Amino acid sequence: MVASHRHDNIQHRCTRHKFHESRLLRTVNSHMMGWTVVPSCLVPPGKLNAMFRYLQLTTVVAVALTTSTPVLQAADKETAGAPKAVVTLKEGTWKDVQTLIAERPGKIVVVDIWSTSCLPCMKEYPELVKLQKTYPKQIVCVGFNIDYVGIKSKPPEYYRPRAEKFLQKHEADFSNFLSSVDAIEIFDQLDLNSIPAVLVFGKDGKLGKRFDDTLLKPGKVEAFTYQQDINPFIAKLLKK
């Protein structure tokens, strides 16, 4: 039952396996695509031949563009003329994140590991922004983007424009990192199977809890959300 449930809902998360597939697809098709996405994260698991995978890829891209454009345009109109927050995106590694955590004693640090290819990541990311604005003195929010998948022709800086556009749209004016390390290495380094993933560090700098796919329960589409899981956990930490 549980295995079946995880199989059915894995398409809602960007798994390590799918990032690896994406790297292969990007290598083969990079000359055919002027911009890069990782829609293979949305492809259901299974042993499909290369042609079928490519057809799925192009179909998902077309659907994503068709359905998301009106929403993005509406959001742009709503924010037109409003003062924009100063958003920074620094290229770095997980060691840079660890250094930042060590330099914030007495603060709760929330690190969101995300990608512009991950729809659940982008859906939840605004909640990270709200969290920082709600507790500006007690909490330090950090975004760690892992769009880079190790393609030599597409270094980390290649992904900066679209990551910055997303962050600017949501006024994520806190510490944001653009990983300079291949996403697969990040998955291995942090022992992650998929994203979104959020790591919450206590005031002592130690990991308090990690929110990832290991929390996925039968009957749920997502393993966690900010409102239902992360925010209540942080509220408890703030009372200590």
What structural domains and CATH numbers belong to the chain?
2-239 (3.40.30.10)
* Residue 49 pLDDT: 41
CA 229, chain centre distance (Å): 17
* Residue 32 pLDDT: 43
Residues in the chain: 240
C-alpha dihedral sign at 179, 181, 185, 188: negative
Q: Tokens 């703030």, residue? A: 238
String of DSSP letters for 93-137: -HHHHHHHHHT-TTSEEEEEEE-TT-HHHHHHHHHHHHHHHHSTT
For residue 169, give the 3-state DSSP assignment. helix
* Residue 143 pLDDT: 98
* Residue 222 pLDDT: 85
- Nearest by Cα to 200 from 99, 111, 88, 98: 111
pTM for the full predicted model: 0.71
Specify the DSSP element, H or E, that contains 77: helix 50-79
For residue 24, give the 3-state DSSP assignment. helix
CB neighbours of residue 155 within 10 Å? 13
* Residue 153 pLDDT: 94
Whole-angstrom distance, CA of residue 92 vs CA of residue 109: 17
Q: Which residues contact 26 (CB under 8 A, 6 or more apart)?
A: 33, 36, 149, 151, 154
CB 78 within 8 A of CB 109: no
Structure tokens at 119: 């729809």
Tens of pLDDT along the chain (240 residues)? 444 444 344 445 676 655 655 555 554 444 444 433 443 343 334 433 433 443 444 444 444 445 444 544 544 555 455 566 789 999 999 999 999 999 999 999 999 999 999 999 999 999 999 999 999 999 999 999 999 999 999 999 999 999 999 999 999 999 999 999 999 999 999 999 999 999 999 999 999 999 999 898 888 888 899 999 999 999 999 998
Q: Tokens 């742009």, residue? A: 76
* Residue 226 pLDDT: 97
* Residue 69 pLDDT: 47
Q: End-to-end distance of the chain based on CA atoms, in angstroms?
A: 38
* Residue 30 pLDDT: 43
For residue 240, give the 3-state DSSP assignment. coil
Angle at 78 between CA 73 and CA 171, to 5 degrees: 95
